[in-house]
Amino acid sequence: MKHFLTSLVYGSMIIIGGHLSSSQAWAEENAVPQPRIITVTSGSVGGIVRLGGSVVPEQIVNLTAQMPGDVSFVAGSEGDAFEQGDALIALDTTSLLAKREQAISQLASAEAAHRNAVVQYNHELRNPNAQANSMLGGAPGMFSIFSDPARSMMGQGSPGIERGSNLYAQGIQVETARNSVDQARAALRELDEALQNAISYAPFDGVIVNRMVEQGDIVQPGMPLVSFADVTRLQVRVDVPTRLLKAIKAGGQIRAHLDGDSSPVPVVVDRIFPMTDPGGHTTTAEFNLPPGTEAHSGMYAEIILPDASNRVSGLPVIPESAIVWRGSLPAVFQVADDGRVRLRLIRIDEYASNGIVSVISGIRAGDKILAEPASNTRSVR
């Protein structure tokens, strides 16, 4: 009698099929449980919508020039990484340093004038009419004891008003000198701020994603210098039609396809913008990619949203767990009537939100497939 054995590798188990051996008891004692085999059915699954977008960094800044000048230093090019606080772009500060030295001299002069005004005020306060009293041994001061009352009686003067006027004039000189000191200090602070603005620092750990200037370029305030981003945290930014907004909510998880990637990756809804574009009737939404995802800023990506109004019917439907990927091609393990397992490439139509996948070609309704093939499952010929 001709016998044959069919082997099915499943995990660490081997299933023996075909004609039974002469020892029925041995076969029953050593039988290995069959892996879960399901029959492909046809049916209707909820349709989905694929929305195209771009991969963008979660955190990105555009550094612009804050003052006019010549670019004297450029730290690196696109892709170079820097830590927070590192200098990225610097402008020539020779003229600013010269102006700062001038401002320091002006501040010193203003402080000297202020000190002199204070001394003159105290001199007038404690020693009034000192210049007149210094003549003739102080005789004018002695005569004023008698002349001042007489002048007041005749209406020819008021010594008290004259005394107050002299003190007020000296006080005004003190205040003017103090204002000059404040102006000189403000000018110095302005120059120090300009010197700080002449250097653009990295606001966080990241890389240069776009450099718009070269060493020697002349820039004006507002001109872009570099775009700096944290590329360790990436997002997919998509304009979602208003009718599909109910399918997403902040913190929810959906699927996305990256350009060139065969299998979808889970993404988390990070933010849904509050305003809708009145022209396109779409709302911008951002979806966080998992850490470690191989993606680049600007890469094309698609998010997959369920759309109950668009249903797919009459196609074979299988659980997503039955699909294995061979490179960029999806496939399933089909079980033949004789127990042999064969790898069959399929063409996927759509993913449903409940884990069911509709298939365009490769298998038919009624075929038997492995529901959850192990990673080491192989075809048996």
CA distances from 301 to 259, 294, 350 (A): 6, 12, 16
> Pick the residue with more confidence: 300 or 127?
300
Residue 249's pLDDT is 87
Residue 98's pLDDT is 93
Would strands 347-351 and 356-361 be described as parallel, antiparallel, or unpaired?
antiparallel
Question: Residue 293: which pLDDT band, with cuts at 50, 70 and 90?
Answer: confident
Residue 4 has pLDDT above 80, yes or no: no
> Pick the residue with more confidence: 202 or 146?
202
Please report where in the chains the tokens 């006019």 appear, as a residue: 68
**How far is 69 from 271, CA to CA, in rounded Å?**
39
| Amino acid residing at 129 | N
Tell me: the pLDDT tens digits for 38-80? Answer: 988 877 655 677 788 899 998 899 999 998 999 999 998 988 9
Question: Residue 89: which pLDDT band, with cuts at 50, 70 and 90?
Answer: very high
CA distances from 83 to 28, 231, 290 (A): 67, 13, 23
Strand ranges in 204-299 using DSSP code E only, listed in sequence order: 206-211, 218-219, 224-241, 253-258, 265-272, 282-288
Identify which of 109-118, 120-129, 317-326, 337-346 has the greatest average pLDDT: 109-118
Average confidence score pLDDT of the chain: 80
Residue 282's pLDDT is 87
> Pick the residue with more confidence: 72 or 338?
72
> Pick the residue with more confidence: 190 or 42?
190
Beta-bridge partners for 324:
331
**How far is 88 from 215, CA to CA, in rounded Å?**
12
Residue 152 has pLDDT above 70, yes or no: no
Q: How many CB atoms lie within 10 A of CB 284?
A: 16
Mean pLDDT of the region 7-33: 41
pTM value is 0.54
Nearest to 206 by CA among 298, 290, 285, 297: 297
Residue 261 has pLDDT above 90, yes or no: no
Residue 34 has pLDDT above 60, yes or no: no
Tell me: the pLDDT tens digits for 198-225? Answer: 999 999 999 998 999 999 999 999 999 9
Q: How many CB atoms lie within 10 A of CB 304?
A: 19
Q: What CATH architecture is 50-58+230-311?
A: Beta Barrel (2.40)
